[in-house]
């Protein structure tokens, strides 16, 4: 029976690359309004999971249900239009395009009435950079620009792939604030390695290991778990 509080569900979702089971029969339930963090060691299949959910690579088996609709096999643009948007681990920006033009592209607004775009830029603190070429931004700013593009699309669900990768503690704290604010209008799924960051934002945590769900729970439960400590948290102290 479908739970109305669940906005995204995967059932037996798998993606194999030859003999490698990058994602192996993952059952995931993301509740509306939550900030749901996905953690796990390198190679656990976190980014592949995002790639399959967002339609960028096909699933080998299983299905993805977003807002009661099966989206497995749909194209990335169709999934995006349903309100499921994503960011990338390495920020993907168009080097020769201005910051504002990026957000206008995402919001589909005309330059003369780009209220939503400017609001999105303001939310991530990049409004003053609107005229700059995205290629000239610092790494952290590019990641924030990706976040602004996602916000400008007014999504129902945002998948963020390591939003704080390569950032210092101060910048991470700012991102946490942005993510918390984003969660007031959308559900957010975050892949993250920075456990302090996860502790500050997560309503629910899923631990992936070798492509499979190892544990699920609140961050307190996860941090207490011996098995999680052994395979993951122990590693990063």
Partner 1 sequence: MAAVTARQGWARVGGLVWNARGAALLLIGLLIYGRLADPFGLFIVASALVLSLLALSVDLQWGYAGILNLGPAAYLGLGAYTYAITQRKITAGSPTYLAFALAILFGIVLAVIVAFPAFKARTLPVYYALITLAVALILQRWTAVSYDLTGGSNGLVGIPLPDFSLPGLDLKMTTAEQFFPLASGVVVAAYLACLWLTRSRFGRLLAAIRDDEEKVATLGYDVATTKLIVAAIAGALGALAGALYAPLAGTAHPSLFGIAFSVQAYVWVAVGGQGTLIGPILAAIALKLLENRLRGVSADGYLMLLAAVFMLVVIFLPKGIAGLFDAQAVRDRFRRSRGGPIALAPVLERPLDEPHG
Q: Which residues bind partner 1 (CB under 8 A)?
A: 15, 17, 20, 22, 42-48, 50-51, 54, 56-57, 75-77, 80-81, 85-86, 88-89, 92, 94-98, 100-101, 104-106, 110-112, 114, 118, 127, 130-131, 135, 149, 153, 161, 191
The per-residue b/e assignment along 169-197, b for 16 or more CB within 10 angstroms, e otherwise, is eebbeebbebbeebbeebbbbbbbbbbeb
Q: Smallest gap, in angstroms, from Cβ of residue 5 to partner 1? A: 26
CA distances from 51 to 25, 58, 226 (A): 15, 8, 30
* Least distance (Å) between residue 182 CB and partner 1: 17
Q: What's the closest the beta carbon of residue 68 comes to partner 1, in angstroms?
A: 20
Other Cβ atoms closer than 10 A to 206: 24
Between the CA of residue 127 and those of 23, 99, 116, 124, what are the distances in Å? 38, 9, 12, 8
Give CA 80 to chain center in angstroms: 13
Q: Bridge partners of 216?
A: 206
Smallest gap from Cβ 67 to partner 1, in A, equals: 16
Q: Which is nearer to partner 1, 163 or 218 (CB)?
A: 163
Q: Which is nearer to partner 1, 221 or 235 (CB)?
A: 235
Closest CB to partner 1 among residues 52, 201:
52
- With tokens 């995402």, the residue in question is 106
Q: Which is nearer to partner 1, 94 or 221 (CB)?
A: 94
Q: Which is nearer to partner 1, 42 or 226 (by Cβ)? A: 42
The DSSP letter of residue 230 is I
Q: How far is the CB of 42 from partner 1 (least distance, A)?
A: 7
């Amino acid at each position: 029976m479908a739970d109305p509080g669940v906005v995204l569900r995967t059932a037996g979702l798998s993606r194999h690359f030859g003999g490698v089971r990058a994602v192996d029969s993952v059952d995931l339930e993301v509740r509306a309004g939550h900030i749901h963090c996905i953690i796990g060691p390198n190679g656990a299949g976190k980014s592949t999971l995002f790639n399959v959910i967002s339609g960028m690579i096909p699933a080998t088996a299983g299905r993805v249900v977003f807002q009661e609709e099966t989206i497995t096999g749909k194209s990335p643009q169709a999934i995006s239009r349903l309100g499921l948007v994503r960011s990338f681990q390495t920020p993907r920006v168009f080097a020769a395009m201005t910051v504002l033009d990026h957000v206008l592209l995402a919001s589909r607004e005309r330059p003369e009435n780009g209220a939503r775009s400017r609001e999105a830029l303001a939310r991530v603190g990049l409004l003053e950079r609107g005229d700059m070429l995205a290629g000239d931004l610092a790494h952290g700013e590019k990641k924030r620009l990706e976040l602004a593009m996602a916000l400008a699309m007014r999504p129902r669900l945002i998948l963020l792939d390591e939003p704080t990768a390569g950032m210092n503690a101060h910048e991470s704290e700012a991102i946490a604030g942005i993510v918390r604010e984003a969660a007031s209008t959308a559900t957010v799924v975050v892949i993250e390695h920075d456990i302090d960051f996860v502790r500050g934002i997560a309503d629910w945590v899923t631990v992936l290991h070798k492509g499979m769900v190892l544990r699920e729970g609140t961050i307190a439960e996860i941090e207490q778990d011996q098995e999680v400590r052994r395979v993951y948290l122990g590693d990063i102290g």
